[in-house]
Amino acid sequence: MANDTDIASLEKALLSEIDSASDLDAIERLRISTLGKKGRVSELMARLGTLPSEQRKAFGQSVNQLKERVTEALEARKSQLSRDAMSARVASEWADVTLPVRLGPLQDGRIHPISQVWDEIVEIFGDMGFSVAEGPDIESDDLNFTKLNIPPEHPARQDHDTFYFKPKADGSRLLLRTHTSPVQIRTMLSQKPPIRIIVPGRVYRIDSDATHTPMFHQVEGLVIDEHTHLGHLKWCLEEFCKAFFEVPDLKMRFRASHFPFTEPSMEVDLDASAIGKPGQWLEILGSGMVHPNVIRNCGLDPEKYQGFAFGMGLDRITMLKYGIPDLRDMFSADLRWLKHFGFLPLDVPTLAGGLSS
């Protein structure tokens, strides 16, 4: 039979257990084993019914007081342990705010000047109503040459030092396209005039020295409708150059030339004094009115349709605009070069915001 002495010694034992509980889990286990349904304090309460009625009141009071004191002790220990846990966390989780800021990927990465200029070109021609077309780097002989009015055995084939694949069983050969002009053909074969496209892309020639790399970039332009003439071509290229080099005026020289797929043909030189190189003419593109044979090869009537085409060296104008001295550095994947000449990823060129500012 429990009496006051039992209660007092139980209280002593419980308080010392509570005092030495080392974490919040231990406190919870103690709460359950004392105040829970089958806990030691609750069990005392259960004995109340077995006592003679004159003892019940006093015993009940004692057990209730015990319960209160144990509850208080549990709460006190629990909040003490929570405070200790928080202090430990605060002591271990801290940041030295005096350290320099670490750059995130957005500030660290750079956009290659070719990619940037690619976007600038799309922006400028897009504003003039051109859309962007694409074709594969691996092209057929037919589209790269024949349909462009360069039949087999034509001497112009020798001008392009072509990377050929092994001939197929039927004798036809695939090649790495030597210019973006086959996309003229692909577009005229698949789209009805009016056509107004530009084609930025990679092209390949067996050529490697200080000013040539085996892979380089071109932008093709093609306009086909019923009215477009040479004046439109000149206007279009002049507007492009002014917008691209971000100058109000710029002298250009149109030199008679020859391409099998245009007639007449012109090469275009820039007066480089506008971009800080006085006294120099720099060749930047080939162009002309699309040859009637090419229009016919694409199933269109050259009596009805006409237009112009141009092919521009993208790497060339990138070097001119951004003062890049050596073509080969552009493809050497040197991170220091890219850090110097590259662009921040969020510097997206727009006409409204300024192309390169």
Q: By the criterion CB under 6 A, which residues form the site for ligand PHE? A: 179, 181, 259, 262, 286-288, 309-311
Output 73 or 312, the one with its CB closest to ligand PHE: 312
Output 295 or 309, the one with its CB closest to ligand PHE: 309
Nearest residue to ligand PHE by CB is: 311
Minimum Å gap between C-beta 308 and ligand PHE is 8
Minimum Å gap between C-beta 112 and ligand PHE is 22
Record the tokens describing residue 188, joined without a space: 């005229």
Give the residue from 102, 88, 106 showing the smallest Cα distance to 22.
Answer: 88
Output 116 or 181, the one with its CB closest to ligand PHE: 181
Minimum Å gap between C-beta 311 and ligand PHE is 3
Minimum Å gap between C-beta 162 and ligand PHE is 12
Give the residue from 199, 263, 200, 259 showing the smallest Cα distance to 230.
Answer: 263
Record the tokens describing residue 114, joined without a space: 């070719």
Record the tokens describing residue 142, joined without a space: 């037919």
Minimum Å gap between C-beta 261 and ligand PHE is 6
Minimum Å gap between C-beta 288 and ligand PHE is 5
Output 201 or 286, the one with its CB closest to ligand PHE: 286
Output 34 or 180, the one with its CB closest to ligand PHE: 180
Output 77 or 160, the one with its CB closest to ligand PHE: 160
Number of neighbours of residue 232 by Cβ within 10 angstroms: 15
Minimum Å gap between C-beta 266 and ligand PHE is 8
> Residue 245: what residue type?
F
Q: Is the CB of residue 195 less than 8 Å from the CB of residue 225?
A: yes
Which residues are 174's β-sheet partners? 140
Minimum Å gap between C-beta 196 and ligand PHE is 15
Q: Which residues contact 222 (CB under 8 A, 6 or more apart)?
A: 183, 184, 187, 188, 195, 196, 197, 198, 199, 290, 307, 308, 309
Give the residue from 202, 229, 232, 228 showing the smallest Cα distance to 214.
Answer: 202
- 31 vs 67: CA distance, rounded Å: 11
- 28 vs 74: CA distance, rounded Å: 9
Cα atoms in the 13 Å half-sphere on the side-chain side of 294: 29
Output 34 or 144, the one with its CB closest to ligand PHE: 144
Output 213 or 262, the one with its CB closest to ligand PHE: 262
CA distances from 232 to 127, 248, 309 (A): 16, 19, 11
Minimum Å gap between C-beta 148 and ligand PHE is 8
Q: Is the CB of residue 257 less than 8 Å from the CB of residue 267?
A: yes
Output 77 or 217, the one with its CB closest to ligand PHE: 217
Output 308 or 341, the one with its CB closest to ligand PHE: 308
Record the tokens describing residue 38, joined without a space: 């089958």
Minimum Å gap between C-beta 131 and ligand PHE is 17
Q: Which residues contact 338 (CB under 8 A, 6 or more apart)?
A: 110, 112
Give the residue from 222, 197, 235 showing the smallest Cα distance to 310.
Answer: 222
- 24 vs 37: CA distance, rounded Å: 20
